[in-house]
A = this chain, B = another copy of it.
Amino acid sequence: MNGKINALGRWIPEQINGQPVIPFQGIGKYIPEGRKAAPPIVSCANYPKDGNKVVNSLRKALELAGIKDGMTISTHHHFRNGDKLTNKLFDTMAEMGVKDLIWFPSASFPCHEPIIEHLKSGVIHHIEGSMNGSLGRFCTMGKMKGQGVLRSHGGRYRAVQDGDVHIDIAVIAAPAADPFGNANALYGKSACGLLGFALADSQYADKVIIVTDNLVPFPCIPWQIHGNHVDHVVVMDEIGDPEKIVSGTTRITRSPARLLIAEYTARFIKEAGIMKDGFSFQAGAGGISLAFISFLKKFMEEAGVKAGWVRGGSTRHLVELLNEGLTSYILDGQTFDLDGVRSMRDNPNHVWTSPFTSYNYHGKGNFASMIDVVILGATEVDVSFNANVVTHTDGLLLHGMGGWQNCLFANCTILALPSFRDRIPVIVDKVTTICGPGQLIDVVITERGIAINPARKDLIDSLKGSDLPVRTIDEIKIEIEKICGGPPVPPKVDKKRVVAAIEWVDGTVIDVVYKKID
């Protein structure tokens, strides 16, 4: 296997899945040429004049869409672990005798474990997208026929837009849709807020199938997906499990260490002078993030500061900020609870966005780079501030990247994480897999101290006089190695077997995952 060393010193094979790849060249260094993907021109003459595109089964829709071996089939993950469509979809294609498909999800979840059977039987050749939990394990053990390709949300939009991935058939689960195919996720028993992760699919796929459990009369308003992109509409009894689509109990962490991390993070933003009128921030829906929002909210109230806009994933904690006038807007990429869904439906200042607006690096700018501060997690971070979100220190690929890479372009990127997990250090000499270059990671906040990237002298200066525990990342690393009994043991891997590639936001390859040896 031939390859090259990329700009971060990682070896990158010449090809992934038989296609040539470009090694990571540095941030903003790879400037693409050429033109975007061009979907086929179609004619209204071939679509029903009355706009009724409903067909009576998923199988029928797939037949009409011309399903055949080797096609790339896309799905979205707004239903998260409550997705009831994807398994049925591939079961149907298995029944139809189709083989060697590429599954191109925007993310996968534990509920997709049955997909392993289709990977084993050859219905699916490989997955391009996040492979969480058991799917990731299956891939890491070298059992998938093809190689995985992991992309950020923005990278997925980019790959479709740029023509790196050609979607033959997009199958879009929609909580509300009309017979023409206009669809949204704001209404119905499976309401999940928005359908942004399916936007590229609707715009660029050759064929688009909407599957809904809530067919409404034309016009389905608002149309988050345009019916003008849709070929067929299928009605099913149940496309999602509402209990698992959104969690009614997105909970703030109770761990004292994690609460401390959250508090340090909020204090850092305040004391570094980032928290000022009109500022913007993005935090996720994990326990630390939610606790952080709660601390920050208190500080904002005390100081009389109001944010200009905040980015979701939204939860009731973010919605509270909006309702209480502490932010003018939520620009939201996904709703994590029912308060988020309701707010997005009822409050025009809770705005649905998409990977196109927020994250696409091959656009004329995007929202992610305009944010003042973003709070993210990681599985590992190294002393050069490079970070990993997809593999664990044992080499297992267990997570997708979500919008993580895209968010690194914020003015201040903070990784807020415990210094060790299960007595395994999180701060290491070299991360198992590089997902984000240290150059873009400004601050690492742990319960044992705050490490500021030496390149961010402005941030270091801004903290002068603060009693926050600012330390070097090496200091923190040495301390936790003492606690944990030394650095982590590197995983045993077969360096000749690349099982997955990690794309950077611009489509170059930043690192690879190797087959783990039992």
Chain A interface residues toward B at CB < 8 A: 27-51, 53, 161-162, 180-181, 208, 217-219, 221-223, 226-231, 278, 308-309, 329, 331, 348-349, 351, 356-357, 360-367, 369-370, 409, 411, 506
For the complex formed, measure the closest distance between the CB of A223 and the CB atoms of chain B, giving whole angstroms. 8
Residues on B with beta carbons closer than 8 Å to the beta carbon of A348? 221-222, 348
User: Could you say which of B36, B46, B49, B360 contacts A369, with CB atoms under 8 Å apart?
Assistant: B49
User: Could you say which of B31, B38, B219, B506 contacts A38, with CB atoms under 8 Å apart?
Assistant: B38
For the complex formed, measure the closest distance between the CB of A440 and the CB atoms of chain B, giving whole angstroms. 11
How distant is the Cα of A161 from the Cα of B42 in the complex, in angstroms?
11
User: Could you say which of B31, B40, B228, B308 contacts A365, with CB atoms under 8 Å apart?
Assistant: B228
For the complex formed, measure the closest distance between the CB of A102 and the CB atoms of chain B, giving whole angstroms. 21
Counted per complex, copies of this chain come to: 2
A370 and B218: CB pair below 8 A?
A: yes
A228 and B360: CB pair below 8 A?
A: yes
B356 and A51: CB pair below 8 A?
A: no
For the complex formed, measure the closest distance between the CB of A162 and the CB atoms of chain B, giving whole angstroms. 6
For the complex formed, measure the closest distance between the CB of A350 and the CB atoms of chain B, giving whole angstroms. 10
For the complex formed, measure the closest distance between the CB of A281 and the CB atoms of chain B, giving whole angstroms. 14
Contact A228-B363, Cβ < 8 Å, known A41-B33, A309-B218: yes
B369 and A51: CB pair below 8 A?
A: yes
How distant is the Cα of A42 from the Cα of B363 in the complex, in angstroms?
6
Contact A41-B162, Cβ < 8 Å, known A227-B364, A278-B217, A365-B53: yes
For the complex formed, measure the closest distance between the CB of A179 and the CB atoms of chain B, giving whole angstroms. 10
Residue among A27, A33, A42 with max Cβ neighbours from chain B (10 Å) = A42
B34 and A41: CB pair below 8 A?
A: yes
A231 and B364: CB pair below 8 A?
A: yes
How distant is the Cα of A369 from the Cα of B180 in the complex, in angstroms?
11
For the complex formed, measure the closest distance between the CB of A216 and the CB atoms of chain B, giving whole angstroms. 11
- Give the 4 A-B CB pairs with smallest separation, nearest first: A28-B45, A35-B38, A38-B38, A47-B365
B35 and A351: CB pair below 8 A?
A: no
